[in-house]
């Protein structure tokens, strides 16, 4: 910023900020390159970081926040991500309910296994299975999420074949 002289003009130079580095908890793990691809040296766009933060925070065991600090390089910023482990990255849920129909089995048993970041790729795994009390009908499902969602579902329909 400088004074424009006796005319009373104020001149402000604006420098578009660029990204110098991205770290999480003082580390630079490989998965940051997957979540924030090709961002080093590029213009700092907060929308791109919001999308990456959503990707990291979708894992139920993590809570990630962002801090933008000036870099030693003029016109550049260091992106510092802070991770808080909110719960164990492995969780198991087992349940039973009586909300089923008479035709499909009144009592329903279910179990779910969730695994966060086990491949260190910001991945999230969910495996679930459901069965009714007479074990005629069952339902299995698994999901793997790491930027691209992959899902499969399987259902056995009883008495369909002779």
Establish if 94 belongs to a structural domain: yes
Residues 64 and 99 in one domain: no
Residues 66 and 103 in one domain: no
Residues 152 and 94 in one domain: yes
Report d(CA 59, CA 90) in Å as an integer. 11
Establish if 105 belongs to a structural domain: yes
Residues 70 and 101 in one domain: no
124 is in which domain, residue-wise?
Answer: 90-156
Report d(CA 83, CA 85) in Å as an integer. 6
Establish if 152 belongs to a structural domain: yes
Residues 67 and 114 in one domain: no
**Looking at residue 8, what is its pLDDT?**
79
**Looking at residue 51, what is its pLDDT?**
87
Among 60, 85, 110, residue at a domain's last position: 85
Mean pLDDT over the full length of the chain: 80
Region of 25 (left: φ > 0; alpha: ψ -120 to 50; beta: rest) is left
Is the C-alpha dihedral spanning 32, 34, 36, 37 positive or negative?
A: positive
- The per-residue pLDDT for range 87-120, each reduced to its tens digit, is 888 999 999 888 767 766 678 888 889 998 888 8
Residues 74 and 99 in one domain: no
Establish if 4 belongs to a structural domain: no
Q: Tell me the residue ranges of DSSP E strands in the chain.
A: 2-3, 10-11, 18-24, 62-70, 76-85, 90-97, 108-116, 124-132, 138-146, 148-156
Report d(CA 60, CA 85) in Å as an integer. 9
Among 85, 112, 136, residue at a domain's last position: 85
Angle at 19 between CA 14 and CA 22, to 5 degrees: 150
Tally the domains of the chain. 2
Q: Say if CB 156 and CB 141 are below 8 A apart.
A: no
Residues 19 and 63 in one domain: yes
SS3 125: strand
Report d(CA 5, CA 65) in Å as an integer. 44
**Per-residue pLDDT band at 31 (split at 50, 70, 90):** confident
Residue 160 has pLDDT above 80, yes or no: no
Residue 68 has pLDDT above 90, yes or no: yes
Q: Say if CB 112 and CB 126 are below 8 A apart.
A: yes
**Looking at residue 34, what is its pLDDT?**
85
Residues 31 and 63 in one domain: yes
**Which tokens in the block code for residue 156?**
């056995």
Residues 103 and 81 in one domain: no
Residues 94 and 152 in one domain: yes
* pTM listed for this prediction: 0.62
């Amino acid at each position: 910023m400088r004074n424009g002289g006796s005319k009373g003009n104020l001149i402000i130079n604006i420098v578009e900020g660029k990204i110098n580095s991205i770290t999480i908890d003082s580390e630079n793990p490989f998965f940051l390159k997957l979540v924030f691809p090709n961002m080093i040296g590029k213009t700092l766009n907060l929308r791109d970081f919001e999308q990456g933060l959503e990707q990291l925070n979708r894992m139920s065991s993590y809570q990630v926040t962002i801090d933008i600090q000036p870099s030693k390089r003029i016109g550049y910023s260091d992106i510092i991500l802070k991770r808080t482990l909110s719960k164990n990255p492995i969780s198991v849920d087992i349940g039973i309910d009586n909300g089923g129909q008479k035709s499909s089995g009144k009592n329903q048993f279910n179990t779910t296994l969730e695994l966060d970041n086990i491949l260190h790729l910001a991945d999230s795994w969910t495996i679930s299975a459901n069965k009714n009390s007479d074990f005629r009908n069952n339902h299995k499902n698994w999901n793997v999420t790491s930027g691209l969602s992959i899902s499969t579902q399987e259902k056995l329909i009883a008495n369909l074949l002779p």
